């Protein structure tokens, strides 16, 4: 009853011909019945990849919530939607930590995305020092309260959530099955408490953090894990597609 989704975050990787080749391989080998796929390439490739008219939707890794103006180097959400992108990452820990994006700023980004019919893939996750003191559930639910807690039920229905423990991103260290399931169940319970049983039950919650072709099937077997947000392993078409067939 919930969508199964595997999304690739290409981060700041690949040259133009590599990005095109990766997209074409993923798109041509993709069986749409396994799950939904999404890719998030660097912004300079988004229009060309959308222009391939493939089955795999292309989203943006970042945008600015303002409509236009003096924000050198930024891309507005209207520009994103005019280019045909329908998905955007919001709240990735690299944006939070390297670019100082606060929960308040992320809330504005989520509002802007929804106002332009872009689905925000909202990322949350705790750093290691918070998990060490057993503060992970409170930390993550606070991130959610401050970024999506204000949404209406119909707005939340258009969001995808990704739980990405910061200590697992790009480290080769994956959350255990118990750690992933505990947090996904807690996020789902929080969604049910705030938005109602139905929307909490149907919102996709993806796991991210060193998910790869070897560990995806056990992670995806967790009852509250609906797929993955994949960094490193999404840069290779064969491993990304193997992850997509791990349900
Ligand atoms: C990510 O960047 O969202 C991510 C999960 O990266 P990796 O799979 O490389 O840990």
> What does 182-218 look like in DSSP terms, one character per residue?
HHHHHHHHHHHHHH-HHHHHHS-EEEESS--TTTHHH
Is the pTM higher than 0.85?
yes
Three-state DSSP at 121 gives strand
pLDDT over threshold 90, residue 183: yes
Please give the pLDDT value at position 34: 79
Please give the pLDDT value at position 32: 72
Q: CB of 169 closer than 6 A to ligand 1?
A: yes
pLDDT over threshold 90, residue 172: no
Please give the pLDDT value at position 237: 97
> What's the rounded mean pLDDT across residues 95-119?
98
Q: Tell me how far the alpha carbon of residue 197 lies from the centroid of ligand 1, in angstroms.
A: 30
Q: Tell me how far the alpha carbon of residue 129 lies from the centroid of ligand 1, in angstroms.
A: 19
Please tell me which residue, 30 or 83, carries the higher pLDDT value.
83
Three-state secondary structure of 56-112: CCECECCCECCCCCCCCCCCEHHHHHHCCCCEEEECCHHHHHHCCCCHHHHHHHHHH
pLDDT over threshold 90, residue 33: no
Q: CB of 162 closer than 6 A to ligand 1?
A: no
Q: CB of 165 closer than 6 A to ligand 1?
A: no
The Cα–Cα gap between 31 and 138 comes to 38
Q: How many domains does the chain have?
A: 1
**Element spanning 40, H or E:** strand 36-40
The Cα–Cα gap between 50 and 233 comes to 22
CATH number for the domain harbouring residue 215: 3.20.20.70
For residue 75, give its domain range.
Answer: 5-244
164 is catalytic: yes
Q: What is the biggest distance separating any 2 CA atoms in the chain, rounded to whole angstroms?
A: 48
Three-state DSSP at 126 gives coil
């Amino acid at each position: 009853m919930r969508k199964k989704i595997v999304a690739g975050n290409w981060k700041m990787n690949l040259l133009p011909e590599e990005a095109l080749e990766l997209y074409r391989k993923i798109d041509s080998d993709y069986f749409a019945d396994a799950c939904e796929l999404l890719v998030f390439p660097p912004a300079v490739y988004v229009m060309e990849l959308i222009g391939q008219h493939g089955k795999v939707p292309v989203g943006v890794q970042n945008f600015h919530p303002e409509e236009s103006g003096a924000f050198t180097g930024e891309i507005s959400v209207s520009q994103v939607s005019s280019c045909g992108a329908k998905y955007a990452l919001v709240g990735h820990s690299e944006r939070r930590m390297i670019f100082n994006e606060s929960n308040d700023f992320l809330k504005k980004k989520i509002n802007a995305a929804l106002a332009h019919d872009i689905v925000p893939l909202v990322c949350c996750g705790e750093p290691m020092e918070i998990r060490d003191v057993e503060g992970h559930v409170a930390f993550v639910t606070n991130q959610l309260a401050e970024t999506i807690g204000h949404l209406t039920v119909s707005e939340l229905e258009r969001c995808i959530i990704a739980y990405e423990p910061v200590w697992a991103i790009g480290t080769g260290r994956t959350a255990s099955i118990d750690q992933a399931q505990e947090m996904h169940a807690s996020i789902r319970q929080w969604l049910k408490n705030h938005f109602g049983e139905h929307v909490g039950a149907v919102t996709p919650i993806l796991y991210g953090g060193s998910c790869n072709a070897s560990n995806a099937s056990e992670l995806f077997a967790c009852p509250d894990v609906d797929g993955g947000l994949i960094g490193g392993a999404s840069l290779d078409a064969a491993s990304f597609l193997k992850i997509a067939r791990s349900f």
